[in-house]
Amino acid sequence: MKKVIHTSNAPAAIGPYSQAVEANGMLFISGQVPINPKTGKVVEGDITAQTEQVMKNIGAILKEAGYNFGDVIKSTCLLSDMANFAAMNEVYGKYYSENPPARAAFAVKELPLGVLIEIETIAAKS
């Protein structure tokens, strides 16, 4: 059975999708962009600031669904420029210091709202 997850502590969906969906002990979090949920605006700053906001948004959704970063099994990172990979990786690594999830990282032509990063996440209960 599928359960839609929503929290006001992460940005509202900007299209016909849910922040996250839980099914059969797995949580699928839609791609998160660096929108501050309090202001509804993209955070100012470089890839470091934007990655930090994305990770905060993911954390808020994980918490709302009863998961944590230790439950994450797969991430997909979409970058507007691979030159930002090392700086993104530094911030991302703070959230997964032990037993990090599987991950893919891609450069894409452009991302919604002109952001520098988007990350989608899959978590599972152990």
Cα(57)–Cα(15) distance, rounded to whole angstroms? 17
Closest to 77 measured CA to CA, from 53, 98, 108, 46: 108
State mean pLDDT over 79-104. 97
Is residue 46 within 8 A of residue 53, CB to CB? The reply is: no
Contacts of 38 (CB under 8 A, 6+ apart): none
Domain ranges of the chain: 2-124
Model pLDDT, residue 27: 98
Closest to 55 measured CA to CA, from 35, 84, 27, 82: 35
State mean pLDDT over 83-107. 97
Q: pLDDT band at residue 15, thresholds of 50, 70 and 90? A: confident
Model pLDDT, residue 1: 85
Residue type, 41: K
Q: What percent of the chain has pLDDT over 70?
A: 100
**Mean pLDDT across the chain, nearest whole number?**
96
Q: pLDDT band at residue 126, thresholds of 50, 70 and 90? A: confident
Dump the DSSP string for 35-67: EETTTTEEPPS-HHHHHHHHHHHHHHHHHHHT-
- CATH number of the domain located at residue range(s) 2-124 in this protein: 3.30.1330.40
Strands (E), 1-126: 2-5, 20-23, 26-32, 35-36, 41-42, 72-79, 102-107, 117-124
Q: pLDDT band at residue 14, thresholds of 50, 70 and 90? A: confident
> pLDDT per residue over 32-72, tens digit each?
999 999 999 999 999 999 999 999 999 999 999 999 999 99
Model pLDDT, residue 65: 98
Model pLDDT, residue 102: 98
Give 100 or 126, the one with higher predicted confidence.
100
